[in-house]
Amino acid sequence: MIRHLRRYYWQQQFQPGLLGAFVNPFFLARRSLAKAVGSFAPMMTGSLLDVGCGSQPYRQLFQTGSYCGLEIDTAEARSRGVADVYYDGTTFPFDDQQFSAVLCNQVLEHVFTPDPFLREIHRVTAVGGKLLLTVPFVWDEHEQPHDFARYSSFGLKALLERNGFRVVKHRKLMDDSSVLFQLTIAYLYKVLQPRRAVTILLLTALVFAPLSLLGLFFGRLLPKNEDLFLDQIVLAERQP
């Protein structure tokens, strides 16, 4: 029973249903991201490399021939024990054009030198292979001090193109009033700094969940603003 509850709680952190609003302070952001990744997942085929895989929260969304999670070789990453392969932070330990698809989810903002990083992704991706990339745009500093950049849609496109990728599809996520509700929750979370799990759950259920549900409502009711958005997702194709 406890194991099932823990698994349900973990799932609600990354792929939340409506009830996830009551256990996940970042419900709006995670819900939007999971839906976007899920909508692009069928376009990723063959062998897939998940760069900076973390806990591999979206692995089950991809029906690929093989799935390999890659992480920088650190004590923290090793302690999670989820990655399939570790690397030195510079060179991926794979052959040229080894993968037909690459996923890079909320990682690029933590890379201080993005050009060499994207060149490595380009190297291990087969010609014509796909890169599915997500990055935040309006979000607070996180995982400090390893938070280095935010990219506009134009900057991200230019960065990908100069490193050998062609943007096939690009989507801005939460480009509506729901972004204001999620940022309000993020502000309160940082200011209140809840530490104990029970405190986080109480705050989420009693304070954050109503704000999240209001965000869903007003996000659909009010006009969009494509210049202010939380995240972006890009499907790009590896060029020769």
For residue 167, what are the β-bridge partners?
A: 236
Spans of the chain, pLDDT less than 70: none
Using DSSP's 3-state secondary structure scheme, residue 235 falls into: strand
On whether the CB atoms of residues 100 and 47 are closer than 8 A, the answer is yes
pLDDT tens digits along 61-71: 999 999 999 99
Position 77 scores a pLDDT of 84
Position 148 scores a pLDDT of 97
Domains in the chain, ordered, with CATH? 1-42+176-224 (no CATH), 44-175+225-240 (3.40.50.150)
Find the helix or strand (DSSP H, E) in which 133 lies: strand 125-136
Position 126 scores a pLDDT of 98
Q: What is the pTM of this model?
A: 0.94
Tell how strand 125-136 and strand 165-173 pair up.
Answer: unpaired
Position 4 scores a pLDDT of 81
pLDDT tens digits along 157-184: 999 999 999 999 999 999 999 999 999 9
Which single residue is written with the structure tokens 């060179």?
Answer: 91
Find the helix or strand (DSSP H, E) in which 100 lies: strand 99-105
Position 58 scores a pLDDT of 97
Q: Minimal CA–CA distance to 59: which of 73, 75, 41, 45?
A: 41
Encoded tokens for 145: 């001090």
